[in-house]
Every structure is written in structure tokens, then in C-alpha cells.
């Protein structure tokens, strides 16, 4: 599939194109882009990516904001002639590449670019579910019926089945959830709609493409099942380019680990009951099996009542005490499979149900019986949802085995990969010690565009009176900036505390994370003069607000990961047991990169200017603060509120 209509390329077809011929002062981009600006860092990065792809080497590139890193890796990827997967941190960035950047590059080439993008199955419509829903009563209420009509009319004209086309559909549409193409009920090639399936079509496009754009979650979902028969999602490829590569360790940990939840069993029971009625194989015996499975699941998962995330360290005591609960649940899953296997006829939906049941059993056995010390075992309860999880303590070995040793070239790029100017932390955590590295500084004039303010008088953020005193400081900063700010927190609790303290004191429009969907909050912030957004970690990255509308970013404290978090605790203990200093080797570097991400929200163009305020003065008082300062750009620095007020008065 071509990324856009083919246009004439303003270059000599007979000359071999290189990164330099594109990005040089008199190159193709200078003659093609109305806002072209020669950037030395951009051409350095492009030539490094070009060389890595040609030589089959791994490369880590930290490219500061304003470098133009997207084009700096896209152009060499296109010129390489290889099939390359580009993996992004978010679906929004995926779509920016596919619908904006690549159509522009297409205009510079005479031949069509073979490009596609792939998302997870839940983003696509299942035609068979849609057709079944027209005959069977699966919809509830007038809202779902109205949403169904929107989806049915759209199905007749869409070529991709990508939900992103349905702008009029509510973000949390329950009708879409009943009609999407998740694999839970997929019959694969036995489905009547297989040849017309949007997932099938997505795979066809990928097989015909040279550039395949995915997100990290889809990439690692593929990597985790690639060795299984028919397990791969992506076609074979020669190289991978990770944008927003600082997220890789966490995402890889999810997919090289294991999760099982009570929701999986509830959905299995619900789907089996619905299909048995629709396909007319429901029996009193099957109903009893489903009822007993639900009871066993509720009893077993009820053994973990505590809200939040907690380590599971009492395996040796747990199994003998609660062996009956565990084996009753496993027996219930066995009985479920046995009952389905008695159903006469090759009913397509039965195979996915049996497969799901067996995967749940495997996950339960791994979590309770395996005892592999390379994993940390933990429990998370969120309301009525209970998750049993196993996460690799160190993903570097799995990444080496499944990725770095198998793929000729892997390029990792982000604005936040180095700590105090070095890449040791990233290389160690990901197992890429032998990779080439490159730092490309931002093109922005941070010394003149940004003032970094750290108030010296606030207490340690761990002190009980910090929220009250921090709220007073935030109020004064916002009055100086006339709103126009993000106030970012490391915890929901502190966000709500400070918000409630200031809600009646400030005259600026105040937005709070959780009151509306993320994109709706961002749209409201951009459209509302003087708005202030109170938010947490999901707004620390991937958010782009240019211009005066965002003139101040306030961060409550240095973003150290919660030390009691089971995954963080296990990684800290592992480093200590191996003779390392976990605080300086893991916790400080991780926090330094997170702080860089948070501060990166402020300056998004050469015309932006503003104040970064960090309310945590440990950065100036304790020795490790130097690591944070050395990791940040050369901001102008002050400890005086008067300097902040004068900055905004200019």
C-alpha cells in the first residue's frame, strides 16, 4: 500500500541517494520543504542510522527535542532497501508517521513507497461478529443500538476496519467492545469472513510492505510468540527502529512475563454462555459447569483482597493452606474443556474457548508452581479486577535472545536515553553493551528560552506538611505565569490533594486528570486561555503543546519509582545481591530519565519559552542531585521566585 499519491521527486533520478543528499544544506529537503532549516544534528543522526543499517550494527541515539529525529531515521530506512519495522511509543505517533511524515517523503520519490501500519486486534472490527449481532440479541440499551448503527454503516465503506476512522463513536463504546477483532473468539481460517477479514488484510499489506509501522506493545506481543507455530504477527524483517525507546524495558517486561486475572475467567464464562445459546448447544450440564467455574474463580481470587500492587512472597505457605481452592479452579477449567469437547459438530467458536481455558491453566500453574527466580511474582487488585503477574527481573537476556541476536540492526532513539551524558544505564538495562552510541543535542536555546526554578524553602516531599506548602508555592507560580501550565505529580493522591487545596483559590480554568479522557483534556487545555492541567505520569511524555498556551511546567518531586513496588523492589534486590549499588545504578538513573521526560513537555519549538519548576529541593541539597542536573539541558537556574515573576513580565 502506498503511503500517499506518488508525486515527482525534485532530485536527479540517476544519482544514488544518501542521507547527505537529503539533509545537506543544498539537499533535497532544502528544495522541497517550505520550512526547511539545516540542522547539523539531524544529518549526523541520519548518517549514523544509514551506516548502522548498511553495516548491520546496533545503534543507540539520543536526539534532543527539535532535532528532527523522525525524518532522520525514516529517510535512511527508505533508502536502505530492506524491510524495516518502526516501533513507536504510542498509536498517535504511529499515525503521525503514516499520515503526515511518510506522505511528505513520498512526494520526494518517483516510486511508490511500500508502507503500512499495524495495530493490535482490538483496534479493528470483526465482520463476523457484526453480522452475528444483526441476528442475535447481544446489544443492551439504546446507546449500544445507536453505536451499532454507526459501526454497521461504516463497515460497508471502510477499507481498513480501523476504529480510528470512527470519530463519532464514543471513546468507551461498549458496542465496539462486543464487535472488535480480539483473538478471544477468532476462528482463524475457519471463519466465513477470513478472506474479507480486516486482520487478514492488515497482514497482507504488511507482507507487501518495506516499512511497517507498529507500536511497542504490538512489537513485543509479536516477539513473545514468534517461536510458537503460527505465532508471529509481523512478517520477517531485517531491522527495527524504536522511537521513544526509553519505554522498552517496561513494555518488554509485560510481554516476556505472564498475567492471569479473574476477568479472563469471567469473560470466558460469558462468551461460552452466549455462544452456546446462539449456536444452540446450551445444556443444563454446561450451565452447571459454567456456574461452578465462576464459583471456584470467585473463591480463589478472593484470597487476594488487598487493593493495589503487592509482591507475592509466601508461595511455600500459600499452596499447602489453599491447595483446595487452587485445584478446584484448575479442575473447573478442565471440566469446562471436557464439556465443550462433547459438543457435536465442528463449531468454529469452540476451539478459541478451549485454547483460552488452557492458556489460563498454564498461567496459573506458572504463577503458583514454577518458582523461577528470574521472575518477580506479584498481585494487583483494581476494584473488582484481580491480576496475578510474573515479570522478568532483568529483561536484557530475553531481549538478547529474541531480538538483538536475531536481528541484524536495531536502532534505539529517544530524547531521553543518556544519564549525565553517558549511555551506561540504557545499555545495561537492555543488554546492549556493544552498541554504537550517539548524542545529538537539541537545537533549542535552553539558556534563553527556559528558566529552571527550585524553591529552597519547601520541606522534603516525604514530609506530611509538603502538600499544603507546595500548594501555596504552586499558587504563586501560576499567578506569575497567568495559568498556562501543567502541574505534574508522581502520585494521584498528591495530585488530588493539591488540586483540592487550590480549586477555590485560583481563578484560572482548572482541568484534572480523570475528569475526562486524556485527548479531551488536552484539547480543552489547548482551547482554553490560561488553563491549568493537573495530571500524573501519563502526561509526562507524548504530549505536544506548542506556543504560549503552555508556558510553565511544575513537577512536585523527583520522580523516583515507588521503592515498595514489587518489580522495582525485586530489581533493586537483584542489583544488590550481585554486588552493585542499586540506588546509583538503577533508581537515580531511572528518575533522571523520567524528569527529562516531564520537563520535555515545555519547549516544543524555537519560539517557545517558559519556566520549569521543581518543588523538590533535594536536587540542590543531596549529592545525587548532580546526576539530575548533568542529565538536563543547560537551563538558566534560580532559587528565587522573584526571578520567575520577572521572567513572565518580560
Q: 446-649 has which CATH code?
A: 3.40.50.300
pLDDT band at 380 (very low <50, low <70, confident <90, very high): very high
Class of residue 91 by CB neighbours under 10 A (exposed 0-12, middle 13-18, buried 19+): middle
Question: Sign of the C-alpha dihedral, residues 440, 442, 445, 446?
Answer: negative
- pLDDT for 559 equals 94
- pLDDT for 497 equals 94
pLDDT band at 618 (very low <50, low <70, confident <90, very high): very high
Look at residues 221, 3, 258 and name the one whose alpha carbon lies nearest to residue 106: 3
Domain regions of the chain by residue span: 19-114+398-440, 258-392, 446-649
Class of residue 463 by CB neighbours under 10 A (exposed 0-12, middle 13-18, buried 19+): exposed
**Helix 40-55 to helix 69-80 angle, to the nearest 10 degrees?**
30
In tens, the pLDDT along 146-179 reads 888 899 999 999 999 999 888 888 877 888 888 8
Q: Which residue has the higher pLDDT, 279 or 617?
A: 617
- pLDDT for 543 equals 80
Question: Mean pLDDT in the chain?
Answer: 90
- pLDDT for 465 equals 93
Q: What's the topology of domain 258-392? A: Fumarase C; Chain B, domain 1 (1.10.275)
Look at residues 356, 360, 357, 354 and name the one whose alpha carbon lies nearest to residue 387: 360
Residue 11: pLDDT over 50 = no
- pLDDT for 346 equals 53
pLDDT > 90 fraction of the chain, expressed in percent and rounded: 68
Q: How far apart are CA 369 and CA 365, in angstroms?
A: 5
Instruction: Go through the chain and tell me how many residues it has.
Output: 650
- pLDDT for 10 equals 38
- pLDDT for 345 equals 67
Q: Which residue has the higher pLDDT, 170 or 112?
A: 112
Contact at 8 Å (CB) between 562 and 537? no
Residue 467: pLDDT over 90 = yes
Cell of 473: 508555592
What average pLDDT does range 36-60 have in this prediction?
A: 94
Look at residues 308, 387, 378 and name the one whose alpha carbon lies nearest to residue 566: 378
- pLDDT for 279 equals 78
- pLDDT for 77 equals 96
What average pLDDT does range 31-39 have in this prediction?
A: 79
Residue 459: pLDDT over 60 = yes
What average pLDDT does range 544-565 have in this prediction?
A: 92
pLDDT band at 140 (very low <50, low <70, confident <90, very high): confident
- pLDDT for 139 equals 73
Q: 19-114+398-440 has which CATH code?
A: 3.40.50.300
Q: Which residue has the higher pLDDT, 5 or 296?
A: 296
Q: How far apart are CA 106 and CA 90, in angstroms?
A: 23
Match 511474582 to its residue by C-alpha cell. Answer: 377
- Cα distances from 90 to residues 87, 214, 218, 486, in angstroms, run 9, 9, 10, 21
Which residues on neighbouring strands pair with residue 532, listed in sequence order? 485, 510
Residue 16: pLDDT over 80 = no
Contact at 8 Å (CB) between 442 and 270? no
- pLDDT for 606 equals 84
pLDDT > 70 fraction of the chain, expressed in percent and rounded: 97
Residue 186: pLDDT over 90 = no
Q: Do domains 19-114+398-440 and 446-649 have the same CATH topology?
A: yes
Ranking 60-64, 109-113, 340-344, 585-589 by mean pLDDT, the lowest is: 340-344
- pLDDT for 2 equals 39
DSSP class of residue 445 equals -
pLDDT band at 230 (very low <50, low <70, confident <90, very high): low
Cell of 439: 548524542
- pLDDT for 3 equals 38
- pLDDT for 4 equals 35
- pLDDT for 603 equals 86
Q: How far apart are CA 283 and CA 422, in angstroms?
A: 65
Amino acid at each position: 500500500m502506498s503511503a500517499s499519491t506518488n508525486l515527482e521527486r525534485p532530485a536527479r533520478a540517476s544519482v544514488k541517494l544518501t542521507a547527505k543528499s537529503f539533509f545537506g544544506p543544498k539537499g533535497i529537503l532544502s528544495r522541497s520543504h517550505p520550512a526547511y532549516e539545516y540542522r547539523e544534528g539531524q544529518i549526523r543522526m541520519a548518517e549514523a542510522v544509514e551506516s548502522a543499517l548498511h553495516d548491520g550494527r546496533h545503534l543507540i541515539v539520543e536526539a534532543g527535542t527539535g532535532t528532527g529525529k523522525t525524518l532522520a531515521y525514516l529517510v535512511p530506512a527508505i533508502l536502505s532497501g530492506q524491510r524495516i519495522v518502526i516501533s513507536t511509543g504510542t498509536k498517535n505517533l504511529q499515525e503521525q508517521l503514516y499520515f503526515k511524515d511518510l506522505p511528505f517523503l513520498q512526494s520526494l520519490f518517483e516510486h511508490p513507497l511500500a508502507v503500512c501500519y499495524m495495530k493490535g486486534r482490538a483496534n479493528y472490527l470483526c465482520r463476523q461478529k457484526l453480522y452475528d449481532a444483526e441476528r442475535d440479541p447481544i446489544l443492551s440499551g439504546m446507546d449500544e443500538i445507536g453505536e451499532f448503527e454507526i459501526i454497521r454503516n461504516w463497515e460497508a465503506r471502510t477499507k481498513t476496519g480501523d476504529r480510528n476512522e470512527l470519530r463519532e463513536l464514543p471513546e468507551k463504546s461498549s458496542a465496539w467492545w462486543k464487535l472488535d477483532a480480539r483473538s478471544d473468539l477468532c476462528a482463524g481460517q475457519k471463519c466465513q469472513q477470513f478472506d474479507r477479514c480486516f486482520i487478514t488484510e492488515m497482514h497482507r499489506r504488511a507482507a507487501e510492505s518495506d516499512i511497517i509501522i507498529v507500536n511497542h506493545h504490538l512489537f513485543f506481543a509479536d516477539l513473545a510468540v514468534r517461536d510458537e507455530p503460527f505465532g508471529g504477527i509481523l512478517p520477517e524483517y531485517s531491522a527495527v527502529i524504536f522511537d521513544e525507546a526509553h519505554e522498552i524495558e517496561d513494555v518488554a517486561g509485560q510481554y516476556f512475563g505472564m498475567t492471569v486475572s479473574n476477568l479472563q475467567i469471567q469473560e470466558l464464562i460469558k462468551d461460552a454462555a452466549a455462544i452456546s445459546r446462539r449456536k444452540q448447544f446450551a445444556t443444563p450440564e454446561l450451565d452447571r459447569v459454567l456456574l461452578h467455574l465462576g464459583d471456584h474463580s470467585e473463591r480463589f481470587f478472593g484470597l487476594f483482597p488487598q487493593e493495589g500492587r503487592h509482591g507475592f512472597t509466601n508461595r511455600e505457605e500459600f499452596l499447602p493452606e489453599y491447595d483446595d481452592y487452587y485445584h478446584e479452579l484448575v479442575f473447573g477449567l478442565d471440566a469446562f474443556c471436557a464439556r465443550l469437547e462433547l459438543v457435536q459438530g465442528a463449531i468454529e467458536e469452540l476451539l478459541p474457548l478451549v485454547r483460552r481455558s488452557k492458556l489460563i491453566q498454564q498461567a496459573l500453574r506458572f504463577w503458583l508452581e514454577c518458582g523461577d527466580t528470574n521472575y518477580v511474582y506479584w498481585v494487583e487488585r483494581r476494584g473488582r479486577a484481580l491480576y496475578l503477574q510474573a515479570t522478568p527481573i532483568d529483561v536484557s537476556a530475553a531481549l538478547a535472545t529474541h531480538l538483538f541476536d536475531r536481528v541484524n540492526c536495531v536502532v534505539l532513539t529517544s530524547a531521553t536515553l543518556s544519564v549525565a551524558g553517558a549511555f551506561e544505564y540504557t545499555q545495561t538495562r537492555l543488554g546492549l553493551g556493544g552498541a554504537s552510541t550517539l548524542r545529538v543535542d537539541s537545537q533549542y536555546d535552553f539558556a534563553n528560552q527556559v528558566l529552571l526554578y527550585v524553591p529552597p524553602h519547601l520541606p522534603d516531599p516525604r514530609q506530611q506538611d509538603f502538600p499544603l506548602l507546595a500548594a501555596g508555592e504552586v499558587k504563586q507560580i501560576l499567578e506569575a505565569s497567568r495559568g498556562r501550565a501543567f502541574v505534574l505529580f508522581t502520585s494521584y493522591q498528591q495530585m488530588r490533594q493539591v488540586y483540592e487545596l487550590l480549586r477555590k483559590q485560583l481563578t484560572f480554568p482548572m482541568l484534572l486528570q480523570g475528569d475526562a479522557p486524556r485527548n479531551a483534556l488536552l484539547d480543552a487545555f489547548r482551547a482554553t486561555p490560561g488553563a491549568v492541567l493537573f495530571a500524573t505520569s501519563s502526561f509526562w511524555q507524548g504530549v505536544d503543546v506548542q506556543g504560549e498556551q503552555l508556558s510553565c511546567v511544575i513537577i512536585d518531586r523527583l520522580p523516583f519509582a515507588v521503592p515498595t513496588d514489587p518489580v522495582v523492589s525485586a530489581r533493586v534486590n537483584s542489583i544488590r545481591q550481585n554486588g552493585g549499588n542499586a540506588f546509583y545504578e538503577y533508581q537515580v538513573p531511572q528518575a533522571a530519565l523520567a524528569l527529562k521526560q516531564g520537563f520535555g513537555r515545555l519547549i516544543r519549538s524555537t519560539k517557545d519559552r517558559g519556566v520549569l519548576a521543581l518543588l523538590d529541593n533535594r536536587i540542590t541539597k543531596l549529592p545525587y542531585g548532580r546526576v539530575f542536573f548533568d542529565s538536563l539541558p543547560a537551563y538558566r537556574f534560580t532559587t528565587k521566585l522573584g526571578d520567575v515573576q520577572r521572567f513572565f513580565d518580560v
